[in-house]
C-alpha cells in the first residue's frame, strides 16, 4: 500500500513539474517574442504580446515593466498638435506608470522596476510642469537612487538610472533656486547632472541620446567646447534605438547653431 501511495504521489509530482515547465516555457517564449518586437521597433506588436503574457500569467513583474516600456514607447510617438491629443498622450504615460508601479510592488529588489517607474514619472512631470508636481520629481530622483543602490540588472538599466538623474538635475536646475527650494527641489544641480550623464555613458557608451543630452547640459553651462565634442559623438555613434535618427538630426542642428560659440 505504501509503495502504491508513493508511486501515485511521485506520478502527481511529475505531472505538476511538467506543467510548471510548460508554464515557464510559455511565459519565457512570450517575453522573448515581445522583446524581439521591441528590438525591431514594433512597439504595438510588443505591447500586444506582453499583454497576452499578462493575461495568461498575471502577477509577473518581468511582464509588468515590459508593458510599461511598450506603452511609453508608443506614447512617445503619439501626435500632440491639439489639446485632446496631448491629453491622450498623458493618459498613456499614466497607464505606463501604473504598470511600472505594479512591477515595483511585485519585485522591490529589482533595479529595472524602479527605472521604468522613474521614466514614466519623469514623463508626467515634464508634461505637467516641474513646479506643479514637485513630489513627482522627488519620486523620480528617489527611484533612480534606489535602482543604482540595488544595482541588479545589466549595465544599460543602471546607465538609464544615471541618465534620468542627470536629466532631472539639468531640467530642475533651469528654475530659480530659491523658488525651487521652497518646493523641496533645491537639491538639483547642473554640475551633478553632468556627472550623472558621464556615469551613464561610462556604463553604456555609444548611445546617441546620452551624448545629446550631455551636450545640452554643457550648453546650459556655457561650455561650448565640450558640447561640440559630445554632439560629434552623437554623429559618430551607431544606430541602436528607434529615435536615433531624430537625435542625429537634432545634434547636427545644435552643432551648426553653436559652431562659433
Q: Are 116 and 68 in contact (CB under 8 A)?
A: yes
Task: Count the helix, strand and coil residues of the chain and give each as a percent rounded to the nearest 5.
Answer: 80, 0, 20
- The arrangement of secondary structure in 30-108, i.e. its CATH architecture, is Alpha Horseshoe (1.25)
Q: Are 56 and 30 in contact (CB under 8 A)?
A: yes
Q: Residue 2's pLDDT is what?
A: 46
Q: Residue 36's pLDDT is what?
A: 97
- Set of cell numbers at residue 230: 559630445
Q: Residue 5's pLDDT is what?
A: 43
Q: Are 163 and 196 in contact (CB under 8 A)?
A: yes
Grouping H, G, I as helix, E, B as strand and the rest as coil, residue 158 is helix
Q: Residue 129's pLDDT is what?
A: 84
Count CB-CB contacts under 10 A for residue 130.
Answer: 19
In total, the chain counts a number of residues equal to 261
Tell the residue number behind the cell numbers 542625429, with chain if given.
248
Q: 224-232 long-range CB contacts below 8 Å, 24 or more apart?
A: 224/258, 224/261, 227/254, 227/258, 228/255, 228/258, 228/259, 231/255
Q: Residue 135's pLDDT is what?
A: 92
83's enclosing H/E stretch is helix 83-106
Q: Residue 132's pLDDT is what?
A: 80
Q: Residue 80's pLDDT is what?
A: 94
Q: Residue 22's pLDDT is what?
A: 45
Q: Are 54 and 63 in contact (CB under 8 A)?
A: yes
CA dist 210 → 123, 127, 197, 232 (Å): 17, 21, 7, 12
Q: Are 71 and 91 in contact (CB under 8 A)?
A: no
How would you write the pLDDT of the chain (261 residues) with one tens digit per residue? 444 444 445 455 555 554 455 455 699 999 999 999 999 999 999 999 999 999 999 999 999 999 999 999 999 999 999 999 999 999 999 999 999 999 999 999 999 999 999 999 999 998 888 778 899 999 999 999 999 999 988 999 999 999 999 999 999 999 889 988 998 999 999 999 999 999 999 999 999 999 999 999 999 999 999 999 999 999 999 999 999 999 999 999 999 999 998
Q: Are 170 and 126 in contact (CB under 8 A)?
A: no
CA angle, corner 166, sides to 256 and 221, nearest 5? 45
- Domain locations in the chain as residue ranges: 30-108
46-139-166-86 Cα dihedral, nearest 10 degrees: 50
Q: Residue 24's pLDDT is what?
A: 53
Tell the residue number behind the cell numbers 498623458, with chain if given.
90
- Set of cell numbers at residue 51: 499583454
Orientation of helix 190-203 relative to helix 208-220, angle to 10°? 160
Q: Residue 131's pLDDT is what?
A: 73
Amino acid at each position: 500500500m505504501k509503495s502504491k501511495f508513493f508511486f501515485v504521489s511521485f506520478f502527481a509530482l511529475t505531472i505538476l513539474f511538467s506543467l510548471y515547465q510548460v508554464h515557464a516555457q510559455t511565459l519565457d517564449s512570450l517575453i522573448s517574442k515581445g522583446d524581439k518586437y521591441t528590438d525591431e521597433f514594433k512597439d504595438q506588436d510588443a505591447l500586444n504580446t506582453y499583454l497576452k503574457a499578462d493575461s495568461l500569467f498575471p502577477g509577473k513583474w518581468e511582464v509588468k515593466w515590459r508593458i510599461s516600456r511598450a506603452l511609453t514607447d508608443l506614447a512617445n510617438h503619439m501626435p500632440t498638435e491639439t489639446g485632446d491629443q496631448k491629453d491622450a498622450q498623458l493618459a498613456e504615460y499614466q497607464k505606463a506608470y501604473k504598470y511600472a508601479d505594479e512591477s515595483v510592488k511585485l519585485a522591490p529588489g529589482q533595479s529595472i522596476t524602479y527605472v521604468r517607474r522613474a521614466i514614466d514619472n519623469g514623463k508626467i512631470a515634464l508634461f505637467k510642469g516641474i513646479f506643479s508636481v514637485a513630489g513627482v520629481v522627488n519620486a523620480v530622483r528617489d527611484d533612480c537612487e534606489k535602482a543604482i543602490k540595488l544595482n541588479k540588472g545589466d549595465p544599460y538599466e543602471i546607465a538609464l538610472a544615471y541618465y534620468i538623474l542627470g536629466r532631472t538635475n539639468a531640467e530642475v536646475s533651469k528654475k530659480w533656486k530659491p523658488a525651487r527650494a521652497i518646493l523641496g527641489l533645491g537639491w538639483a544641480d547642473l554640475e551633478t547632472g553632468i556627472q550623472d550623464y558621464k556615469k551613464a555613458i561610462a556604463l553604456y557608451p555609444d548611445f546617441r541620446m546620452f551624448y545629446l543630452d550631455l551636450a545640452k547640459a554643457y550648453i546650459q553651462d556655457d561650455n561650448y567646447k565640450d558640447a561640440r565634442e559630445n554632439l560629434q559623438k552623437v554623429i559618430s555613434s551607431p544606430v541602436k534605438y528607434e529615435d536615433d535618427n531624430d537625435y542625429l538630426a537634432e545634434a547636427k542642428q545644435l552643432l551648426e547653431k553653436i559652431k562659433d560659440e
